[in-house]
Chains A and B, each alone.
Chain A
């Protein structure tokens, strides 16, 4: 491909795919602006007039105002805790050879390979015994622990990939393992940390299974539980559900925007070295 043709074709293809990526989401946003009745008569169409009742209904009936804070606290806490313990563990696992390293890698991977929700019954009994049922802290710890295998796996691969001279140079300067980790390694894996944070944040933000099983008190529930109100047994209120989804997805888009800035910053840092 000549550079000139590539200069036109590549952006064209990228923006073409961007359209495909967005179509289902347009359907969702448009749906959120139409009454559910309209959606059932004509599932895909444009709103006749500005119709915002779905949003007001979602906000009040799903008790979003109560749940937003819980979601933010639980999910943010879980993601930070999960990433912090994982980045520590990933450093030696990715860069060092020591007895038992292979075992630990396998030990961490094992947590990813079980069928979903398999451990829910023993987990419930464990938390019940620890008095952590109906506790936001309990849910946060479960989420954080669940994110460890994925985080460790991705981050250790990143540590492994960094040029070998880096820690040698640090050692020559007399830096200890923790100083090397903190001042040399950590800044370099920032893009990877941003990546795992985003990819852990999203499923936790959307999860309604664990809050339903592990929380009791109305005042402790998270946002997706509110959304389940519109997944009726025999009636799905799609209009309101879409409105709720638009409201819950927006913070994710913003988070993602911030995270990509981190990633881009990390990239530039990487290039300068």
Chain B
């Protein structure tokens, strides 16, 4: 077999060979994910009688969506909450994940145990996470408030999930609690891939730990940071299970945790509308265009930054 010279990230390799690597994934994914999704998107130009397709209606479902005040007035706040969730996830969850990974890269004892403990919340069913945190933060029975009353003035005790000003920050913290294991593991794996000599060489030159992190480790982690950023973005834009479990289908209290995923859920699965499939599909097309477009853009920007290094 003739071997083309391999140059990483170069023009090398026969395109045909690389396509073969893609074939199994493409087959599986196209049939069971893309095909149903495209079919689903095509549903948006029809009117529906329950689960039976009725007449072709063109853009009627879209028009109906945007002339509906109850929907329109919720769209921007929901998008804002998704973006706040993304910002919160980046600042709290991913920063903590990186800090844990760095700490573990040096730790000798207790590393495995701690890694498992930090990731355990992820293993629990999201519905139950909602119940557990509602209980822990409850204004009537919650130990969190009992503790706060014990250590400080009574004003510290709050209905954390029942107050519109604190509910969304709580969602960010609980998301972090649930998910922090993921960036932690991904960063751990990435840090493990950095040859130890790089840092050693720098230390021999007298660089402090902080400078080693800032000038050597962090730049080398850019692909991992990019991956986690994009996944956090998608995760934040599509978040559903946890907000549903914590605030119900309307994103309570008073819509303060309403997100795009709940908007779709209400249109698709909790409406009193025979044409729910048509309306919900139109909404899905709209959300998909926006989220997918932004994700591709974000991915491109991050990759360009990476390759400019």
- A-side residues, CB < 8 A to B, are 10-11, 14-15, 17-18, 20-25, 27-28, 43-44, 81-82, 84-86, 88-89, 91-93, 95-101, 104-119, 121-123, 125-126, 141-142, 144-146, 148-150, 152-154, 157-158, 160-168, 170-171, 174-177, 180-181, 188, 191-192, 195, 198-199, 202, 206, 224, 227, 231, 238, 241-242, 245, 248-249, 252-253, 256-257, 260-261, 263-264, 266-268, 270-271, 273
Interchain CB contact under 8 A, B288 and A113: yes
> For the complex, is B166 an interface residue (Cβ under 8 Å from A)?
no
A180 to B11, CA, bound (A): 17
Interchain CB contact under 8 A, A99 and B15: yes
A271 to B129, CA, bound (A): 37
Interchain CB contact under 8 A, B28 and A264: no
Q: A24-B121, A161-B193 are in contact. List 7 more A-B contacts (CB 8 A).
A: A104-B26, A113-B234, A113-B292, A114-B284, A117-B268, A119-B37, A153-B227
- Which residues in chain B, 21-38, are within 8 Å of chain A measured between CB atoms? 21-22, 24-26, 28-29, 31-37
Interchain CB contact under 8 A, A253 and B190: no
Residue of B nearest to A168 (CB): B6
- B-side residues, CB < 8 A to A, are 1, 3, 5-13, 15, 17-19, 21-22, 24-26, 28-29, 31-37, 39-40, 43, 51, 100, 103, 107, 110-112, 114-129, 131-133, 135-136, 138, 141, 143, 177, 182, 185-186, 188-196, 220, 223-224, 226-227, 230-231, 234, 237-238, 240-241, 260-261, 264-265, 268-269, 277, 280, 283-284, 287-288, 291-292, 295-296, 299, 306
| Contact for B29 among A145, A192, A198, CB less than 8 A | A145
Residue of A nearest to B269 (CB): A117
Q: List 27 A-B contacts (CB under 8 A).
A: A14-B107, A18-B117, A24-B121, A27-B135, A44-B141, A98-B13, A109-B234, A111-B29, A113-B238, A113-B291, A119-B40, A144-B32, A145-B32, A146-B33, A148-B25, A153-B231, A157-B223, A160-B223, A161-B190, A166-B8, A168-B8, A206-B125, A227-B125, A253-B123, A261-B112, A263-B185, A263-B192
A157 to B227, CA, bound (A): 7
Residue of B nearest to A231 (CB): B127
A25 to B129, CA, bound (A): 9
* Ranked 10 nearest A-B pairs via Cβ: A267-B192, A145-B32, A164-B8, A92-B18, A89-B25, A122-B39, A191-B189, A171-B6, A157-B227, A119-B36
A273 to B136, CA, bound (A): 47
A241 to B284, CA, bound (A): 34
Interchain CB contact under 8 A, A256 and B103: no
Majority DSSP secondary structure for residues of B touching A:
helix
Interchain CB contact under 8 A, B143 and A44: yes
Interchain CB contact under 8 A, B264 and A115: yes
A160 to B223, CA, bound (A): 8
Interchain CB contact under 8 A, A142 and B32: yes
A92 to B103, CA, bound (A): 33
| Contact for A116 among B31, B143, B240, B283, CB less than 8 A | B240
A167 to B5, CA, bound (A): 10
Instruction: Among A89, A104, A106, find the residue whose CB has the most chain B CB atoms closer than 10 A.
Output: A89
For the complex formed, measure the closest distance between the CB of B168 and the CB atoms of chain A, giving whole angstroms. Answer: 20
Interchain CB contact under 8 A, A23 and B136: yes
A114 to B119, CA, bound (A): 26
CB neighbours of A28 from chain B (8 A)? 124, 128, 132
Residue of B nearest to A208 (CB): B125
| Contact for B192 among A122, A125, A191, CB less than 8 A | A191
CB neighbours of A238 from chain B (8 A)? 131
For the complex formed, measure the closest distance between the CB of B64 and the CB atoms of chain A, giving whole angstroms. Answer: 18
Interchain CB contact under 8 A, B238 and A249: no
Residue of A nearest to B26 (CB): A89
Interchain CB contact under 8 A, B195 and A271: yes
CB neighbours of A163 from chain B (8 A)? 195
Interchain CB contact under 8 A, A157 and B36: no
Interchain CB contact under 8 A, A98 and B15: yes
Interchain CB contact under 8 A, A113 and B124: no
A248 to B123, CA, bound (A): 9
CB neighbours of A111 from chain B (8 A)? 29, 33-34, 37
Interchain CB contact under 8 A, A164 and B123: no
| Contact for A170 among B6, B177, B193, B237, CB less than 8 A | B6
Interchain CB contact under 8 A, A89 and B22: yes
A165 to B8, CA, bound (A): 8
Interchain CB contact under 8 A, B8 and A95: yes
